[in-house]
Structure 1
Amino acid sequence: MVLFACTAPRAEQPQRPETSTAVATKQPVELVGNSSIASHKQKATYSLVIHRSDKRLEVLNSQGDRLYEAPIGIGQGGMKEKQDMADLVTPTGEMTVDLILYKKSAYNQIASQNVQRFAQNPQFRPLVIQPQGLVQLFQNMSRLDFDGNGSPDKAYGDGYIGLTSETTITGPKMSTFASTPYWFSIALHGTPNPKNIGQANSGGCVHLAPDTLKQLIEQKWVQLGTAVKIVD
């Protein structure tokens, strides 16, 4: 079964993503005491390189030494330039992490730019303004039935690492599917189907095996601001 979790069906397809510049708010957003909210520009110790052609992920330290590598899955749209969120292509380019959702909620993080952007919307505000909201957001995403078979797809596995970029399409981000708020972007995330690893089966995101996702998040190789470069 192929899950298009990174791409909403055409009937629910959001409008073309806005630019990565945060939308100006009419008044400052008061952030509840929350260490999980931070700038996605913060300095990061590690970086990731995703190789589309051989479906492989590398973790590099600050000196550029490879610490870890693992097989991944990519978008079924092929080795093309990404044109929009419906083309099923995993984009190439330089990106940074701006959201982390995980089965262990202590690791959840959201960039302050995302909070400022979406907290003015009454439907999205509870999900981005405080830690418990991020827990609810991931629960929403895990319950979605993208394939319409009447049961939750659990399409994101154990976790979700959202990406943003100033030079390539990464999504509208906060959106809705069947009236349920969820995060809709290019991401590194889990998969309920182990056979997706090493294949081009995703809707544009990078599929990770459970152990790979655990290593990235629990070793803190990936945090807000971590650079992710996707190359051929």
Structure 2
Amino acid sequence: MRSLLMGAVLVVVSGCGSSGPLSREGRASKDSIRIQLDAAEPSASAGELNQGREPLRFKVGYGRNGMTCAGSTFEEGWTPLGTFRVNAILSEDRFVMDPALVKESGKTETYLRENLFRNMSSIDFKGDGETGEYGEGYISLAPVPATPQPFRFNTYDGKFRWYSFAIHGTNDPSRVGKSITGGCINVDRKVMADLLTTVQLGDEVVISSDSPCTP
């Protein structure tokens, strides 16, 4: 298995047609986020958020190595297809996490709320002196049905963090809409801000593609 760097994230890019923050009111409660990846033309990869009125469409970026089939074990650089459940929502202003993960962390919820996203944002994953590579937030995703994964709490570069597949922001908007991430899906600042006000613990995210996947 390749060395594990950044937690892969579902990345949601620029909110096309969005006129402001998304409201939780009136949106579908499940299966409301769908991501379609395009291997031939990464810039055509897009997501759709069904919020109970006209759907919000947005660009997304994905893994630099391509896509793996549903049920696969996550590896650095590869974005898995399939159905996922939101099991944590992390940002400077919002902390929601599956109670089973809080227990697994060995830390108190207060500690995680005050430190986890700040720790993760302070890591320079590429070694180029730049931090904040998750941008405005990190929405962690667990595969459905559950399959063996390397997701875990650990210490990276001296910082306690949560490692998983996720949708997250970016400190470099030019990376959105490209096959360039560590496996996560990334989105721009505006879309991530919208998602952070809309996504709920337990929501389902479906990632698909018309292109062949790697078993």
TM (normalized to structure 2)? 0.74
1:45 to 12, 17, 29: 29
Q: 1:116 to 1:130 in 2, by over 3 A?
A: closer
Letter in 1 for 2:206: K
Aligned-partner Cα distance in 2 for 1:224–1:189: 15
Q: Which residue, 51, 72, 86 being the options, matches 2:75?
A: 86
Read off the aligned partner of 2:80 and give its amino acid letter. P
Q: Structure 2: give runs of 5+ residues left out of the alignment.
A: 9-27, 39-43, 210-215
Deviations 1:96-136 (A, max 9, x none): 001111132xx2101112123223xxxxx1xxx22452231
Name the amino acid aligned to 1:183.
W
Query: Structure 2: which amino acid aligns with 1:108?
Result: F
1:68 maps to 2:56: yes
In structure 1, list runs of 5 or more residues that go unmatched.
8-43, 120-124
* RMSD over equivalenced CA pairs, Å: 2.2
Residue 96 (structure 2) pairs with residue 95 (structure 1) = no
Percent of aligned pairs with the same amino acid: 28
Q: For the structure 1 residues 51 and 136, does the alpha-carbon distance in structure 2 shift closer, same or farther, using more than 3 Å as the test? A: same
Over 6 Å off, 4+ runs:
none
Q: How many residues were matched structurally? A: 178
Alpha carbons of structure 1 residues 114 and 160: separation in structure 2 relative to 1, 3 Å: same
CA distance in 2, matches of 1:168, 1:205: 17
1:1-232 to 2 correspondences below 5 Å: 5-6=6-7, 45-46=29-30, 47-53=32-38, 54-61=44-51, 67-81=55-69, 83-104=72-93, 107-119=94-106, 125=107, 129-149=108-128, 151-165=129-143, 166-168=145-147, 171-218=150-197, 220=198, 222-232=199-209
Provide the TM-score with structure 1 as the length reference. 0.69
Q: Is the 8 A contact 2:60 2:176 kept in 1?
A: yes
Q: Would you tell me which structure has more strand in proportion to its own residues?
A: 2
